[in-house]
Amino acid sequence: MVERLSLDLQFFAGEKTEKATPKKREDTRKKGQVAKSQDVNTAILLFFMFLAFSALGPFWKERFTGLYTYVFTEFITWDITIDQIQIIFVEVLIYMAITIAPVMGIAIIAGVASNLLQIGFLFTTESLQLKLDRLNPIEGAKRIFSVRALVELLKSILKITVVGAVTFSILWGSKDEIFMLSQTNLDRALSFFGSTTVEMGFAAAIALLVLAVLDYTYQWFDHEKNIKMSKQDIKDEYKNIEGDPLIKSKIRENQRQMSMRRMMSEIPDADVVITNPTHYAVAIKYDEAKGEAPFVVAKGADYIALKIREIANKNEVMIVENRPLARALYTNIELGQTIDESFYQAVAEVLAYVYQVEKRA
C-alpha cells in the first residue's frame, strides 16, 4: 500500500500541471519556440499588398503602358545583335525593378511588422542547426499523423473554404457587369478587373485576419501547454539556479569555519580580552596605523568565548572582567569594526589599566 502510494505521488510529481517559470520561457524563446501564427503574417501581408495595389494602380498603369509604348516605338527599330539584346534586357529589368520596388518595400515592412507584433525582436540560430532525429522516419510519421497535423489540415481546409466563399460571393455579385464587358472598351474592362481584384483581395485579407486571430489564440494556448512544468521540474530549476541546499549549507559551514579560524588567529595580537566572565568574550586591539579608535578582532559567546580565553591565556593576552562592557560590545560592535564613541571612555579605562599592568611587569 505504501509502495503504491509512493508511485502515485511520483506520477503526480512528474505531471506537467504548473505554468512555466520566467527562466523556462526565456530558454524556450532562445530556442525559437514561441507562440506564433503564420496566418497573421499572411493576412497582414495580403492586406497591405492589395492596399499598395489600390494606391499604385494609376502609377502601374502609366509605367506598363509606357514600357509597352517604348518597346514598340524604340526597341523595334534596333538591329538584333548580342550587344543590343543585352542593353534591352538591362533597361527593361531596371524599369521593372523601379516599377515593383514600392510593392516589394511594403511587403518587406509588412512581413517584419507582423513578426514583431507577435513575438517582438528575436534572433536565434537554433532552428538552423542539423538535428538527426528529424531524419528518423518513425518520428516523421508520428508528426505526420499527430493531432497537430490534423489540426493544421482542418485549418487549411477552413481557410480555402472561407477565402473561396468570399471571393466567389464578390464575383457572383458582379456577374452582370462581367457579362457586359464584351460591350465595353479596354480601359473600362481593365478598370473593372483591377477594382474587382482589389476588392476580392481586401475581402480575403480581412477573412484571413479573423481566422488568424483565432489561430494565434490556439497557438498561444498550445504553446503554454507545451512549456508547462511539473513540480519536480520547478524544484530542479530552482536547484540549478540557487544551488543544492545541502551543498549551500556545506559551503556556508566551510565559510563559517574559515572565518572562525581567521578570527582565532587574530587573538594573539589583541591588547586585551574583555569577558562576562564566562558567557561573553571580546578581544580588543588598538593600532594607530589602522584607525583612531580600538577595534574588535574577535568575539564570541559560551563555547567560543571559552576558546577565546584559552587562546588569550596561552599567548599571554591580558583578560579583564567587565560584564556590562563585554555584553554591550558583543551585542553592538561587529567583528573588525571600530568601537562606537559611547564606549570610548570604558574601553580607554580598560586599555589604560592593561598598559599600566604591562608597564609594571
Q: What is the mean pLDDT of the chain?
A: 78
Handedness of CA 335, 340, 343, 347 (dihedral sign): positive
- CATH number of the domain to which 297 belongs: 3.40.1690.10
Q: What's the pLDDT score for residue 14?
A: 59
Residues 213 and 65 in one domain: yes
Q: What's the pLDDT score for residue 28?
A: 78
Q: Is the pLDDT of residue 134 over 60?
A: no
Residues 33 and 118 in one domain: yes
Which residue, among 330, 259, 346, has the nearest Cα to 296 in the 3D structure?
Answer: 330
Q: What's the pLDDT score for residue 5?
A: 45
Contact call for residues 272 and 351 (beta carbons, < 8 A):
yes
The answer to whether residue 211 sits within a structural domain is yes
Q: What's the pLDDT score for residue 35?
A: 75
Hey, what amino acid is at 204? A
Q: At what angle do helices 147-173 and 137-144 cross, to 10 degrees?
A: 50
Q: What is the pLDDT of residues 73-107, one digit of tens each?
A: 877 777 778 888 888 888 888 888 888 888 888 88
The answer to whether residue 260 sits within a structural domain is no
Distance of alpha carbon 112 from alpha carbon 296, whole angstroms: 65
Which helix (H) or strand (E) segment is 300 a member of? strand 295-301
Q: Is the pLDDT of residue 142 over 70?
A: no
The answer to whether residue 238 sits within a structural domain is no
Q: What φ, ψ does residue 298 adopt, rounded to 5°?
A: -160, 150
Residues 206 and 72 in one domain: yes
Residues 166 and 295 in one domain: no
Angle at 66 between CA 65 and CA 67, to 5 degrees: 90
- Domain limits for position 312: 265-360
Angle at 314 between CA 325 and CA 266, to 5 degrees: 60
Q: What's the pLDDT score for residue 236?
A: 76
Angle at 161 between CA 155 and CA 163, to 5 degrees: 100
Cα–Cα separations (whole angstroms), residue 358 to 104, 272, 316, 317, 355: 95, 11, 11, 10, 5
Residues 271 and 223 in one domain: no
Model confidence band, residue 1 (pLDDT cutoffs 50, 70, 90): very low
Q: What is the pLDDT of residues 265-279, one digit of tens each?
A: 888 888 888 888 778
Residues 143 and 185 in one domain: yes
Q: What's the pLDDT score for residue 174?
A: 81
Cα–Cα separations (whole angstroms), residue 123 to 105, 153, 154: 22, 29, 31
Residues 93 and 214 in one domain: yes
Contact call for residues 31 and 190 (beta carbons, < 8 A):
no
What are the residues whose beta carbons fall under 8 Å from the beta carbon of 31, sequence distance 6 or more? Answer: 124, 126
Q: Is the pLDDT of residue 41 over 80?
A: yes
Residues 39 and 144 in one domain: yes
Q: What's the pLDDT score for residue 292?
A: 76
Residues 52 and 158 in one domain: yes
Contact call for residues 307 and 283 (beta carbons, < 8 A):
no
Q: Mean pLDDT throughout 56-71?
A: 81
335 burial level (CB within 10 Å; 0-12, 13-18, 19+):
middle
The answer to whether residue 243 sits within a structural domain is no
Q: Mean pLDDT throughout 203-226?
A: 85
Q: How many domains does the chain have?
A: 2
The answer to whether residue 126 sits within a structural domain is yes
Q: What's the pLDDT score for residue 140?
A: 56
Residues 227 and 312 in one domain: no
The answer to whether residue 96 sits within a structural domain is yes
Which of 213, 233, 253 is where one domain is finished? 233
Q: What's the pLDDT score for residue 10?
A: 47
Residues 220 and 308 in one domain: no
Residues 66 and 141 in one domain: yes
Q: Is the pLDDT of residue 36 over 60?
A: yes
The answer to whether residue 322 sits within a structural domain is yes
Which of 233, 254, 289 is where one domain is finished? 233
The answer to whether residue 6 sits within a structural domain is no
